[in-house]
Structure 1
Amino acid sequence: MKVVTYSHLRANLAKIMDQAADDHDPVIVTRANGKAAVLLSLEDFGSYEETRYLHASPANAKALEESIAELDRGESITFKSADDLKAFVEKAGGGRQDAAE
């Protein structure tokens, strides 16, 4: 993570913005009064917001952590096609039901 002063950022704004966006590496901007800020790409900010949203619910956060642990233990299923995935979901009872049923 790069750290720059406010003055350096001002003098090199376009270059530093490009680096943050291209490298996906946040830039900490320091100021004389001690109140620092972070510059990051819009894409990285979106990822941060999505992660924050997904972890806002304790139940969802727990489910995500359990899923990651399953992957780490090698407990995952790989599908060769979308049709294979669809067949698996339907067999497991997770397929969509028509409103008429």
Structure 2
Amino acid sequence: MKVVNYTEFRNNLAESLNSVNDDGDIVVVARSKGKNVVVMSLEEYNSIQETIYLNSTPANRARLELALARIETTKPLQKKLINK
């Protein structure tokens, strides 16, 4: 995570946005006369939103945890490929 002030962000806008998109960085823009803001890629934002949604109900969270536990304790199934 990178923290920059508003002036630095404005003066280096393209570089900051490229860093967010290309390197997956999150940039916090510190503002002296307002609340700070976070700049992140749309991909990162969507990922966070999906995680929040998937964990939004106790029942769904329990199903996800059970599925993960099964994956960790079950030996993977191996099958031979069919040659045609």
> What TM-score results when the alignment is normalised by the length of structure 2?
0.77
Pick 1 or 2: higher relative contact order, CA cutoff 8 A, min separation 6. Answer: 2
* Percent sequence identity over aligned pairs: 42
Give the length in aligned residue pairs.
Answer: 80
Q: Decide whether aligned partners of structure 1 residues 23 and 33 sit closer, same or farther in structure 2, where only a CA change above 3 A counts.
A: same
Judging changes above 3 Å, is the alpha-carbon distance between structure 1 residues 14 and 70 closer, same or farther for their aligned structure 2 residues? same
Cα separation, partners in 2 of 1:13 and 1:78, compared to 1, 3 Å: farther
Higher Rg: 1
Structure 2: give runs of 5+ residues left out of the alignment. 80-84
- Structure 2 CA distance, aligned partners of 1:48 and 1:36? 19
Q: Which structure 1 segments of 5+ residues have no match? A: 81-101
CA RMSD in angstroms, aligned pairs only: 2.2
Kept in 2, the 8 Å contact 1:70–1:76? The answer is no
2:13 maps to 1:13: yes
Task: Return closer, same or farther for 1:15/1:79 CA change in 2, 3 Å cut-off.
Answer: farther
CA distance change for structure 1 residues 62 and 19 in 2, over 3 Å: closer, same or farther?
same
CA offset digits 1:7-29 (Å, max 9, x no partner): 11111111101101111121111
Partner of 1:47: 47
Q: Which residue of 1 aligns with 2:69?
A: 69
Q: Please name the residue that 2:3 is paired with.
A: 3
* Bigger mean CA offset, 1-10 vs 57-66: 57-66
TM-score of the pair, normalised by structure 1: 0.66
